[in-house]
Structure 1
Amino acid sequence: MSDDVVLRAARIDDFPAIVEVWRSSVDATYGFVSPEDLLEIERELIPAFLPGLDLTVASVDGRLVGFAGTAGARLAMMFVHDDFRGKGVGTQLLSRVLSDGVTELEVNEDNPDSVEFYRARGFEVVGRSAVDDAGRPYPMLQMRRSDADSGHASPSGL
């Protein structure tokens, strides 16, 4: 499967498909987030979050199946459609953003599969917040590549 993945920069007309990927991913992995909070976050994706990020999308057979959004050296968000989880899409997206200089990220502590995914790829926990960036009660782990230069700014993010 992973050989069929095409990565490219996102375009504005990709935003609706990006939101669909996000929704599929969070429906499968974010059982710890209230439905009301998910709706609030979803409403803000296009107007508030996506335009401020450098976005890379992954497609298979012309279907957008994953994306990664970065801000400088920080991975702000990465999601893979539930139908494509475990098939190499996330690994390819992460490899791309790492080659572009990403060294840090935040991940929901209550999403152990994602925490382990990043740990297995050289990230280590360097901090923890009891709430997300909007003050919601979802603990966040700040992670940094263990081989990253210590001169980078402290992690923060979505």
Structure 2
Amino acid sequence: MDFTIRPASVDDAEAMAHMHVQSWRESYGRLLPPEFFAKQEAALPDRIERYRTSIAAGHSRMLAHGPDGDLVGLGASGPGTDEDSPCDVELFMLYTLERVHGRGVGQALVDALIGDGPAYLWVLDDNPRAQAFYRRNGFLPDGKRQLCDPSWYSLPEHRMVRPAVGH
């Protein structure tokens, strides 16, 4: 599949918000009730504004666009936010649309966001596809677990960590 990876600009905020919610619906539709997604749809104007503000403040996001210019993936990384961060870099989010799964988009985003350096992330316990992808990228569970925010129906998640790759 042909796709391009580039940093997000403020002008991308609307497409990002819509794609983000669509990817949640595709990834978590079996885990979360319809009310969750209705609330996310209703909050799109706020999400768009938060993206604009965040990008304008220098918090980068990486985007993947398909051959027709449509947004098919997004991700973000930065300084770790856990009090007991196992390393300096956290992969905050990585989402691709279902129609591009297995086509290298997620891998290209990971490579652009964190390269081959050490990093950590949080993943839902009931997300085997994502966990397998992260394992292929050298991430392993470190035993740290928590529940998501109540707005996410307190779904359980765990932390995965990887050392620098090939070092």
Q: Deviations over 1:77-108 (max 9, x none)?
A: 11112221221100110111122856011111
Aligned letter for 1:13? D
| Alpha-carbon distance in structure 2 between the residues aligned to 1:15 and 1:48 | 8
Partner of 2:72: 65
Q: Deviations over 1:6-65 (max 9, x none)?
A: 111101221221122223322222020222233445525334467274200011222211
Partner of 1:16: 14
| Alpha-carbon distance in structure 2 between the residues aligned to 1:134 and 1:15 | 26
TM-score (norm 2): 0.75
| Aligned residue-pair number | 145
Tell me which of 121, 145, 165 is aligned to 1:128. 145
Aligned letter for 1:119? R
For the structure 1 residues 147 and 134, does the alpha-carbon distance in structure 2 shift closer, same or farther, using more than 3 Å as the test? farther
Aligned letter for 1:78? L
Gap regions ≥5 residues in structure 2: 80-88
Partner of 1:108: 124
Alignment of 1:91-106 (within 5 A): 91-99=107-115, 101=117, 103-106=119-122
Confirm whether residue 36 of structure 1 aligns to residue 35 of structure 2.
yes
Percent of aligned pairs with the same residue? 29
Contact 1:6 1:60 in 2 (8 A): yes
For the structure 1 residues 102 and 15, does the alpha-carbon distance in structure 2 shift closer, same or farther, using more than 3 Å as the test? farther
Bigger Rg over Cα: 2
